[in-house]
Amino acid sequence: MYLLPLDAVRAARRTIAGVAVATPLVPSPFLTARFGHEVLLKLETTQPIGAFKLRGAANAVLALPDGVAGVTCCSTGNHGRGVAYAARRRGLRAVVCMSALVPQAKVAGIRALGAEVRIVGRSQDDAMAESLRLVAEEGLIEISPFDDPLVIAGQATLALELLDECPDLSAVLVPLSGGGLAGGIAAAAKQIKPAIRVIGISMDRGAAMYESLRAGHPVEVDEVASLADSLGGGIGLANRLSFPLCRAYLDDVVLVTEAEIYRALQTVYYEDRMVCEGASAVGIAALLAEKLPALDGPTATILTGRNLDMQVHADIMQGRDVVLGDMVLKGQAYAARPI
């Protein structure tokens, strides 16, 4: 018995068509040459909100009955943008609650879509508390960033696209935070192709799903500033869906350092000429750092989003230092290592 019925994922694909786009899957000639097996990039950076989160948010928002008061969510930035975009399509009020750790570029993007923004506290849990208050006091409907069956089915539509585009895909590297994306993709992909391997990748500072899987139950982690800001935040101590999905279907979870993410952002820019945010680059970081179990056949990684502060991006491309909270990440100019 699969925890996510494939029919729900197929239904999501029909629901979100016309709001979220079916994104390109393109080869990375550099990474392919480097690793001796095909490496493909799934460009969720080309979604209208610049991130895959529109898939799940649209699936949930479009399913709401007419006449609801509006929607609310907590977000590290991209889910809020997805909810704001989908709510605007339906003419619904949207209130997005975020912590002070969310970068300004993401906050501005959400406001530009007409959503109300509340900045509360310094963690996702604080933002979540505000969102739940709005549910209780104003009758808004909460849309979880990862622990909701419709949101997960929406993210899992990526598995359908990946296997349509590349039926002989052997592994997928998925940036992992709350686990709606990785758990959903793993559950759907394995129903179509049981031998496929799905590996979650997180940053090594504050990896909530990794720690929870190790503990055998959801645990809290300290939230710290990271280049992969979209991967911050807990999985919720009362997690119902994304934790069991990740536990059942992920083959492995691998952690990467901030320096490895920095280098991966440079690599994808200088070698593939692509701009993406830190959370998107963790799959490439894990490949470059040779932290993955042996991979042979075609391997895809999901470039999950591109919503980063362009000044930070410019600094990294120039090899300058980056300040992350109370840590200074030493810069280094890009130089391709010989293959």
For the record, the structure tokens of 312 come out as: 């930070």
How many Å apart are CA 199 and CA 185, to the nearest integer?
10
Residue range at the interface with ligand PLP (CB under 6 A); choices 136-144, 177-185, 265-273, 317-325: 177-185
3-state SS, residue 69: coil
Give residue for tokens 């279907």. Answer: 249
Amino acid at site 312: V
Q: Is 78 in the site for ligand PLP (CB under 6 A)?
A: yes
Q: Which of 19, 277, 283, 313 binds ligand PLP (CB under 6 A)?
A: 277
CB of 167 to ligand PLP, least distance (A): 25
Cβ proximity to ligand PLP: between 16 and 34 the closer is 16
Q: Is 178 in the site for ligand PLP (CB under 6 A)?
A: yes
Q: Which of 12, 49, 51, 207 binds ligand PLP (CB under 6 A)?
A: 51
Q: Write the secondary structure of 134-201 as one string of H (helix), E (strand) and C (coil).
A: HHHHHCCEECCCCCCHHHHHHHHHHHHHHHHHCCCCCEEEEECCCCHHHHHHHHHHHHHCCCCEEEEE
Q: Is 85 in the site for ligand PLP (CB under 6 A)?
A: no
Question: In what helix (H) or strand (E) does residue 106 lie, and over which residues does it extend?
Answer: helix 104-112
Q: Is 123 in the site for ligand PLP (CB under 6 A)?
A: no
CB of 79 to ligand PLP, least distance (A): 6
CB of 138 to ligand PLP, least distance (A): 25
Residue 286 · residue 299 · CB < 8 Å: no
3-state SS, residue 300: strand
Q: Which of residues 216-235 bind ligand PLP (CB under 6 A)?
A: 230-231
CB of 242 to ligand PLP, least distance (A): 7
Cβ proximity to ligand PLP: between 146 and 249 the closer is 146
How many Å apart are CA 97 and CA 75, to the nearest integer?
6
Query: Taking each helix axis from N to C terminus, what angle separates 208-215 and 242-249, rounded to the nearest 10 degrees?
Result: 70
Binding mask 127-146 for ligand PLP (x = CB under 6 A): ------------------xx
Q: Is 166 in the site for ligand PLP (CB under 6 A)?
A: no
Cβ proximity to ligand PLP: between 145 and 149 the closer is 145
* DSSP class of 219: -
Q: Which residues bind ligand PLP (CB under 6 A)?
A: 51, 53, 78, 145-146, 175-182, 230-231, 277, 279-280, 304-305
